[in-house]
Amino acid sequence: MRNSTNIKAAEAPRNIQLVYTNDNLPKGLNINSVLTEKEVSIYFNWKPRTLSNYRGYYQTSGGVDKIGPKWIRYGVKTIRYVVKDILRASAGLPWTEPYPELYKPIKRKSKKH
């Protein structure tokens, strides 16, 4: 027979921090700061290669696997991360909505005269 305290401890949800503050962030950053891969590696110790791999998993899965921090694409080559999403990924929490859109290049129209 199980002990009732063990059952309650197993069913109790883990404490998740949903409110973020600027207190523990590096100087000059806030929750809504947008960072490049290099800045993420400097401030939060995430390797650029790891971030790239996470984006690759997302693209090959058709946008189903959402691991790592949420990223935002600016233009063709620039990828940015919001500090809030980096903290969520570090805590093991799922992505927030909306999810990033995959880059879809525009097909050039041929000039037929």
The torsion region of residue 36 among left (phi > 0), alpha (psi -120 to 50) and beta comes to beta
- Asked whether residue 100 carries a pLDDT value surpassing 80, the answer given is no
**What pLDDT does residue 9 have?**
46
Task: Give pLDDT tens digits for 25-38.
Answer: 888 888 888 999 99
For 12, 46, 70, the CA distances from 24, given in Å and listed in that order, are 27, 17, 21
Q: Assess whether pLDDT exceeds 50 at residue 104.
A: yes
> HSE (CB half, 13 Å, CA atoms) of 59?
11
Q: What is the mean pLDDT of residues 5-17?
A: 50
Q: How does pLDDT run across 43-82, given as a tens digit for each residue?
A: 999 999 999 999 888 888 888 888 889 998 888 888 999 9
